[in-house]
């Protein structure tokens, strides 16, 4: 598609160059065709030649401008497709990174790489509005949703997935003038904040009558010489104008920057209004507020953009004073904006809500479209037990892999949780893939609960609350040490498992109590795992303490699994495959020796 677009652009540039030559030729011929006849005294013929040349020049210029506009849109479209290729290949420098604020102590955003550079939001965020970006982030960060809400959301995303032309057209319409996001929150606040109307209409009528009187008296003075009485009415008009000039000051502050955004939003909604929805019932239901209005939403927003554009004339003081000297330009357009605000006050929030939902769904649909081998997960509807929790809480996945790791590198594994209290105790060597496996489960669960496809060949789960303790840092501002910050995070997870009325908790704990000594870590780890086994949830705990593997004999819900390295020709190799049982080897001394640290050189032969 990009190669075809490049050929079209090359041909278009060639035609545009011809248009430029033709316009120059028409200008030169029109000029000569009018000057020479005038010199010869053929005035009528010269005027006719000038008019014909001018008309022909305008026609050619109109077609040339249309061609340039199409070339501009074609270049925009090529940019969209290049970013799509970057998303497929995880070429991070070519994927736009848009700032996103995430709560500092969010339960899993940082642990699972949901936000920030080279994160899930960095990969999937293709929104065109600030509200759409916030909605997309909320789908990934505020989990789990209600089952019915999730079902409707996934149906909409699946419906949008094959509609690549629709999604690209929305981006093109939104970025026709500039690439900045549509600031929906600011636009809505301006449309809803009513202009101060105290005395507006009487003042508008008074200034209009004074302007009319000034014009009549001026014409009478010029034609009949009655005197400069017009200066009295004009002076009174100017005094009133300067006294109420501040009335439109606040609107002017918004007018300069918002009229372009209103035009872009009008273009987006206008495209949605013209589209047929016969084959897309979920999209039709979402876009209902646009289709069942007495007046067209796109037309109303276009009127608002036009009013904002006219009010922004204040940015040019000379022109502004000249126009207002003729008539009450500011008051008239402020009055029209007030009428428009009254009409849009109740319906505009529906349009922005619609846009946010569609924008977020379109981003996840693009993600699904770019990864056709990903699977749409299926939700398990658990029946509540006597304690109010789903006894059938489950998460089963086959060939589960990390979507932020390139396809040629990532390794897939299976995982299965059935009912509450299920714990996988993951042991293994350094760098063997334990932490990545935790993130793989967590990030795919986030995708599933957001309504998106997952990087797996099978994924069946019940809605869960996600709790993680993977990346823990010291907090200088809060005065927390590494170990205390870890303890607080683990306490939060443990407390959430005591809530048996809510969905089960999927906990992902990496290197439990790694901030303390071996003895206390072992005691604390046993106590924590025992408590989690009796709570409302299931999950994984990784550790280097092989003594914790003994818990499998004491707790029926604990299962030992491990990752392991191999030694080939004196070098460590990892297959990143999850295997049953506790890890039979360690590699810390091997790594120290291979890097040249002064330790006793361990046996580098393959482990038995």
Three-state SS at 253:
helix
Q: Across-strand partners of 461?
A: 379, 395
Mean pLDDT lowest among 137-141, 197-201, 525-529, 586-590: 586-590
Which pLDDT score, from 0 to 100, does residue 157 have? 97
Which pLDDT score, from 0 to 100, does residue 478 have? 46
User: pLDDT class for 386, splitting at 50, 70, 90?
Assistant: very low
Residues 456 and 518 in one domain: yes
Residues 527 and 481 in one domain: yes
Alpha-carbon distance of 400 to 387, in angstroms, equals 32
Residue 464 in contact with residue 506, Cβ under 8 Å?
yes
Q: Is residue 103 part of a domain?
A: no
* Residue 606, pLDDT above cutoff 90: no
Residues 85 and 132 in one domain: no
Q: Is residue 524 part of a domain?
A: yes
Residues 522 and 567 in one domain: yes
Nearest CA-CA partner of 81 in 113, 33, 126: 126
Instruction: CATH number of the domain at 293, please.
Output: 1.10.1420
Domain boundary residue, one of 61, 89, 117: 89
Residues 146 and 215 in one domain: no
Q: What are the DSSP calls for 258-278, one per residue? A: HHHHHHHHHHHHHHHHHS--T
* Residue 536, pLDDT above cutoff 80: yes
pLDDT digits (tens, 9 = 90+) for 48-67: 888 888 999 999 999 999 99
Q: Is residue 599 part of a domain?
A: no
Q: Is residue 345 part of a domain?
A: yes
pLDDT digits (tens, 9 = 90+) for 416-470: 998 889 999 999 887 888 999 999 999 999 999 999 999 999 999 999 999 999 9
Residues 237 and 255 in one domain: no
Domain boundary residue, one of 314, 341, 370: 370
Residues 361 and 509 in one domain: no
Half-sphere exposure for 474 (CA within 13 Å, toward CB): 4
Q: Is residue 14 part of a domain?
A: yes
Three-state SS at 601:
coil
Mean pLDDT lowest among 417-421, 463-467, 549-553, 594-598: 594-598
Q: Is residue 119 part of a domain?
A: no
Characterize 58-68 residue by residue with b for buried, 16 or more Cβ atoms within 10 angstroms of its Cβ, and e for exposed: eebeeebeeee
pLDDT digits (tens, 9 = 90+) for 318-355: 888 889 888 888 888 888 888 888 888 788 888 889 99
pLDDT digits (tens, 9 = 90+) for 212-224: 999 998 888 888 8
- Full domain range(s) for residue 215: 205-243
Which pLDDT score, from 0 to 100, does residue 602 have? 55
User: pLDDT class for 541, splitting at 50, 70, 90?
Assistant: very high
Token reading at 177 = 């003038």
Residue 443 in contact with residue 564, Cβ under 8 Å?
no
pLDDT digits (tens, 9 = 90+) for 138-171: 999 999 999 999 999 999 999 999 999 999 999 9
Residues 131 and 67 in one domain: no
Which pLDDT score, from 0 to 100, does residue 476 have? 43
Number of domains in the chain: 4
Q: What mean pLDDT is predicted for residues 386-414?
A: 83
Residue 120 in contact with residue 126, Cβ under 8 Å?
no
Domain boundary residue, one of 311, 341, 370: 370
Residues 227 and 339 in one domain: no
Contacts 24+ apart (CB under 8 A), 76-85: 76/171, 76/172, 76/175, 76/176, 77/5, 77/168, 77/172, 78/2, 78/5, 78/6, 78/9, 80/168, 80/171, 80/172, 81/1, 81/2, 81/5, 82/2, 83/126, 84/366, 84/370, 85/2
Residues 473 and 576 in one domain: yes
Q: What's the chain's average pLDDT?
A: 86
Q: Is residue 608 part of a domain?
A: no
Residues 471 and 497 in one domain: yes
Q: Is residue 94 part of a domain?
A: no
Residues 141 and 48 in one domain: no
């Amino acid at each position: 598609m990009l190669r075809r677009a490049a050929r079209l652009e090359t041909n278009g540039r060639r035609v545009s160059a011809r248009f430029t030559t033709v316009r120059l030729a028409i200008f030169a011929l029109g000029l000569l065709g009018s000057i020479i006849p005038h010199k010869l005294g053929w005035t009528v013929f010269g005027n006719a030649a000038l008019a014909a040349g001018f008309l022909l020049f305008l026609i050619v210029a109109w077609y040339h401008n249309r061609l340039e506009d199409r070339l501009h849109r074609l270049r925009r479209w090529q940019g969209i497709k290049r970013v799509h290729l970057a998303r497929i290949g995880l070429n991070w420098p070519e994927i736009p990174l848009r700032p996103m604020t995430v709560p500092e102590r969010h339960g899993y955003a940082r642990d699972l790489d949901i936000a920030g550079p080279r994160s899930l939001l960095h990969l999937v965020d293709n929104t065109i509005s600030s509200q759409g970006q916030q909605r997309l982030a909320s789908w990934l960060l505020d989990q789990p949703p209600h089952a019915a809400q999730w079902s409707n959301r996934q149906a909409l995303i699946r419906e949008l997935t094959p509609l690549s032309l629709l999604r690209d057209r929305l981006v093109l319409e939104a970025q026709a003038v500039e690439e900045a996001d549509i600031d929906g929150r600011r636009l809505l606040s301006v449309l809803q904040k009513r202009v101060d109307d105290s005395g507006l209409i009487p003042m508008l009528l008074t200034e209009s009558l004074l302007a009319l009187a000034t014009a009549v008296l001026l014409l009478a003075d010029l034609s009949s010489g009655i005197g400069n009485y017009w200066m009295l009415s004009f002076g009174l008009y100017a005094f009133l104008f300067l006294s109420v000039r501040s009335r439109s000051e606040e609107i002017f502050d918004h007018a300069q920057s918002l009229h372009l955004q209103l035009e872009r939003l009008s273009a987006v909604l206008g495209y949605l209004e013209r589209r047929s929805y016969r084959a897309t019932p979920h999209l039709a239901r979402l876009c209902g507020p646009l289709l069942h209005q007495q007046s067209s939403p796109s037309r109303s927003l276009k009127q608002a953009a036009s009013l904002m554009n006219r009010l922004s004339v204040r940015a040019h003081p000379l022109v502004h004073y000249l126009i207002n000297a003729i008539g009450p330009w500011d008051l008239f357009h402020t009055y029209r904006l007030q009428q428009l605000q009254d009409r849009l006050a109740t319906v505009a929030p529906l349009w922005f809500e619609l846009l946010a939902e569609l924008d977020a769904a379109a981003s996840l649909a693009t993600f699904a479209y770019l990864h056709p081998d990903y699977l749409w997960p299926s939700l398990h509807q658990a029946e509540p037990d006597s304690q109010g929790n789903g006894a059938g809480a489950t998460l089963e996945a086959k060939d589960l892999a990390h979507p932020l790791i390139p396809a040629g590198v990532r390794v897939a594994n299976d995982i299965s949780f059935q009912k509450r209290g299920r714990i996988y105790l993951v042991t293994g060597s350094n760098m063997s893939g334990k932490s990545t496996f935790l993130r793989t489960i967590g990030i795919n669960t986030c995708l599933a609960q957001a309504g998106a496809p997952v990087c797996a060949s099978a994924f069946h789960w019940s809605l869960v609350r996600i709790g993680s303790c993977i990346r823990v840092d010291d907090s200088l501002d809060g005065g927390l040490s590494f170990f205390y910050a870890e303890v607080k995070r683990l306490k939060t997870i443990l407390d959430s498992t005591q809530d048996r009325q809510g969905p089960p908790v999927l906990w992902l704990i990496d290197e439990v109590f790694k901030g303390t000594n071996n003895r206390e870590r072992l005691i604390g780890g046993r106590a924590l795992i025992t408590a989690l086994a009796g709570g409302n949830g299931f999950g994984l705990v990784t550790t280097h303490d092989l003594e914790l593997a003994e818990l499998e004999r004491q707790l029926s819900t604990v299962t030992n699994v491990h990752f392991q390295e191999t030694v080939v020709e004196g070098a460590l190799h990892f297959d990143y495959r999850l295997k049953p049982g506790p890890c039979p080897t360690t590699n810390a001394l091997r790594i120290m020796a291979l890097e040249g640290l002064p330790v006793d050189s361990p046996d580098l032969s393959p482990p038995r």
